[in-house]
């Protein structure tokens, strides 16, 4: 699993989310370079990492002093951490999450890159 996980992290880093936080650009990049099944697998991987962050830091988010974001912002913040790649994800701390929230150092939302997979085109 470690090799596959590293491959997913590399794919996330290649999307360059931290460059501009432009989910429309990345959505197009995914459409152009991934089969739908590959994009779904990457979406599943990213979503699982977001869930892991939620479990790991939920008490810190809701505790005192807490991480000052709404429910929606909490999702955006965790997606931001994943979108910035493996090294950022593995080094994230409560203090860094608090700083990101306090300085609005996150975008809405890395998960939007994948919405085309789950919506019907008209």
* pLDDT tens column, 49-106: 999 999 999 999 998 888 999 999 999 999 999 999 999 999 999 999 999 999 999 9
pLDDT band, residue 1 (cuts 50/70/90):
low
Residue 32 lies in a domain: no
Residue 122 lies in a domain: no
Residue 26 lies in a domain: no
Total domain count, the chain: 1
Q: Residue 84 is part of which domain span?
A: 2-14+41-116
The alpha-helical segments, DSSP class H, found in 1-122 are: 2-14, 17-20, 23-33, 36-62, 71-83, 86-91, 94-102
pTM of the predicted model as reported, rounded to 2 decimal places: 0.92
Q: What's the pLDDT at 64?
A: 86
Q: What is the CA radius of gyration of the chain?
A: 14
Residue 56 lies in a domain: yes
Percent of the chain with pLDDT over 90: 88
Residue 59 lies in a domain: yes
Residue 109 lies in a domain: yes
Residue 33 lies in a domain: no
Alpha-carbon gap, residue 28 to 12, rounded angstroms: 14
Cα atoms found within 13 Å of the Cα of residue 20, Cβ hemisphere only: 7
């Amino acid at each position: 699993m470690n090799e596959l996980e590293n491959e997913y992290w590399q794919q996330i880093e290649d999307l360059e989310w931290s460059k501009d936080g432009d989910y429309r650009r990345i959505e197009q990049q995914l459409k152009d370079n991934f089969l739908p099944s590959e994009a779904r697998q990457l979406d599943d991987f990213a979503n699982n990492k977001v869930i892991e962050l939620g479990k790991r830091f939920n008490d810190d988010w809701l505790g005192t002093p807490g991480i000052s974001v709404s429910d929606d912002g909490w999702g955006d913040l965790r997606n931001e951490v994943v979108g910035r790649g493996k090294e950022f994800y593995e080094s994230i701390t409560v203090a860094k999450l608090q700083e990101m929230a306090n300085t609005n150092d996150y975008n809405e939302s890395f998960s939007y890159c994948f919405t085309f997979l789950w919506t019907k085109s008209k």
